[in-house]
């Protein structure tokens, strides 16, 4: 079974100059571990905090599918929608796409 997940990473927020002349300095921000979830009653997909493959996020389960083709299609659609590229995982960990294709 394949699923989409994005591990936590660090992002830098650039310096902000306010209109009163003060400056908010550049700072680091950590983006939490995320996965793609599917609502059980609707055909909608959601991005949310990853709580494990068996865990639930606001009552939804991690979306899994059997074929690599379908999960790659969802990965592309998610990227087109929000600009966030999720990695493909299976029960053994991260999948190397070059091997599987």
In a domain, 65, yes or no: yes
77 in a domain, yes or no?
A: yes
73 phi and psi angles, rounded to 5 deg:
-65, -45
* 101 assigned to some structural domain: no
Q: What is the pLDDT of residues 14-64, one digit of tens each?
A: 999 999 999 999 999 998 999 999 988 888 899 899 988 888 888 899 999
Q: Is residue 53 part of a domain?
A: yes
pLDDT in the model for residue 98: 65
* DSSP H or E segment with residue 48: strand 45-49
Task: Give domain status of residue 52, yes or no.
Answer: yes
N-term to C-term CA, the chain? 16
pLDDT above 50 (res 101): no
The pTM of the full predicted model, rounded to 2 decimals, is 0.75
In a domain, 56, yes or no: yes
* Structural domain range at position 65: 2-95
pLDDT at 52: 85
What is the total count of domains within the chain?
1
Residue 37, domain member (yes or no): yes
Question: 55 lies in a domain?
Answer: yes
């Amino acid at each position: 079974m394949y699923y989409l997940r994005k591990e936590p990473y660090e992002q830098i927020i650039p310096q902000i100059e306010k209109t009163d002349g003060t400056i908010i300095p550049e700072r680091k921000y950590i983006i939490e571990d995320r996965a793609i979830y599917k609502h059980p009653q609707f055909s909608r997909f959601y991005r949310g905090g990853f709580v494990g493959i068996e865990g639930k996020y606001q009552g939804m389960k991690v979306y899994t599918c059997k074929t690599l083709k379908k999960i790659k299609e969802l990965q592309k659609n998610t990227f087109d929608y929000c600009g966030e590229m999720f990695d493909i995982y299976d029960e053994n960990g991260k999948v190397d796409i070059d091997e599987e294709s």
